[in-house]
Amino acid sequence: MSTAQPVIRAERLTKTFGPVRALDGLDLEVAPGEVHGFLGPNGAGKSTTIRVVLGLIRASGGHVELFGGDPWRQAATLHERLAYVAGDVALWPGLTGGQCLDVLGATQGVLDETRRADLIDRFELDPTKRVRDYSKGNRQKVALIAALAADVELLVLDEPTSGLDPLMEQAFQEVVRTRREQGCSVLLSSHILGEVEALADRVSIIRRGKTVTTGTLAELRRHTRTHVHAVTVDEPAGLADAPGLTDWSSERLDGHIESRFSIDADHLDAVIGQLHHAQIHTLTVTPPSLDDLFLRTYDEEVPLHDVPGLEQPEEALR
């Protein structure tokens, strides 16, 4: 992680809409040059956070900084350095796609003409069609191209690929990677785990307006569990009550012992040692899947403090 000033920093953000508490002490930090995945179930407060960060709405409490400045007071000046794709893309139905692109581009500052032309090609957009005659995916492309072609330091993308086909999704990922290499930071709110996995350097997962966890994908992986399927000659000693091990089952099969269990990353090494002592016949280690992590974190049934092995910033504060 860079020590330079973060592009976005939000601390203990709260936002209430009448009786609804949309944000409830949320933390978010995006470092320069990183692609930051922003995840959470529907209604968790992602779009609300983004609007607060952009100074479109004002936080009820907490502290937010954009490029070190106050987005509510200096919105227009700070916006020079970023481009935004809103969650619900709305365009002027009577204008053509190309005209909307230019209007949005002018709104965001300066469009890089070569990039604009290149992206129109890449996303196979017909810029002469009226927006009202576009399909949903094509409307989405207009907003995306306008943001991706802008000469800015930060891209704020709220579910940018909803409605894109897999080929376009691929193109999107390539372009974001290129922009990142050029030094652009990205805040990427998304429901597509594959996309986050492919692009994000770090992710923040929020639920009910609170940050549940944040870190690099590798760190998150460390906090998830590895599934192990081992067939050994002897009965492995002391497995059942090894630290960090759960879901253990064992049965005798053709004179071998077949064990299945899951284990957290910190204790993997010790357990593999025990298996080794019991003479490994076959061994399958399934790496932790992010899907598991997300499903678990998203699950409303699990209380926040029960999500195992996750950093809990707000717990630490209490």
Partner 1 sequence: MRATGLRTMLGVHWRTHRSGTLVWILALIASMVGTAAAVAGLYTTPEKIHTYAAAVTTGSALVAINGRVEGIDSLGGVIQDESGFLMALLLPLLGISLVAKVTRREEEDGRLEAVLGGRVARYVPVLAGLIDASAAILVTALAFTLGITFCGVPAVRSALYAASLGGLAFVFAGLAALVAQITRHSRGVYAWSLLVLTVAYLLRGVGDVTKTWVTWLSPLGWAEKAAPFGAMRWWTLLIPLAVGGLLCAAAVLIAGRRDLGSSLVRGRPGSARASAWLRSPVGLATYIHSPAVLGWLAGALIIAGMMGALAKQFVGAVTGNPAMADAIGMSTAHPEDGFVAVTQLYIAIIAMGYAVQAVGSLRGEETAGRLEPRLSGTLSRMGWIAAHGLVIVTGLVIIVAVSSVVLAASTAWSMGTPLHLARVIGAGAAYLPAELLVGGLALALFGLWPRAFPAGWAVFAIVAFIAFLGPGLKLATWVLDLAPTTHIGNPPLGTVKALPLIVLSALAALLAATAAVGFRHRGVPRG
Task: Report the partner that residue 42 touches, choosing among partner 1, ligand ATP, Mg ion, none (CB closer than 5 to 8 A by kind).
Answer: ligand ATP
> Cβ distance 33 to 183 under 8 Å?
yes
Strands 225-232 and 245-253: unpaired
Compare residues 82 and 293 and give the one whose CB is closer to partner 1. Answer: 82
Using the contact rule CB under 8 A, the part of the chain among 105-113, 200-208, 216-224, 271-279 near partner 1 is: 105-113
Strand order in the sheet with 20-30: 20-30, 8-17, 61-66
Residue 229: HSE in the Cβ half-sphere, 13 Å Cα cutoff: 3
Closest separation between CB of residue 202 and partner 1, Å? 23
Q: Give the one entry of Mg ion, ligand ATP, partner 1, none that residue 106 binds, where binding means its C-beta sits below a cut-off of 5 to 8 angstroms depending on kind.
A: partner 1
Answer yes or no whether residue 54 interacts with partner 1 by CB under 8 A: yes
Distance between CA atoms of 155 and 135, rounded to whole angstroms?
Answer: 24
Residue 90 burial class via C-beta count within 10 angstroms: exposed 0-12, middle 13-18, buried 19 and up: exposed
Rule CB under 5 A: say whether 162 interacts with Mg ion: no
Phi, psi of 317 (to 5 degrees): -70, -30
Distance between CA atoms of 69 and 77, rounded to whole angstroms? 10
Quick one: which segment of 16-24, 118-126, 146-154, 279-287 binds ligand ATP (CB under 6 A)?
16-24
Q: Confirm or reject binding of residue 198 to partner 1 (CB under 8 A).
A: no
Does the footprint of ligand ATP cover residue 161 (CB under 6 A)? no
Which residues form the interface with partner 1 (CB under 8 A)?
A: 51, 54, 56-58, 75-77, 79-80, 82, 84, 86, 88-109, 126-130, 132-133, 143, 156
Which residues form the interface with ligand ATP (CB under 6 A)?
A: 17, 20, 22, 40, 42-48, 87
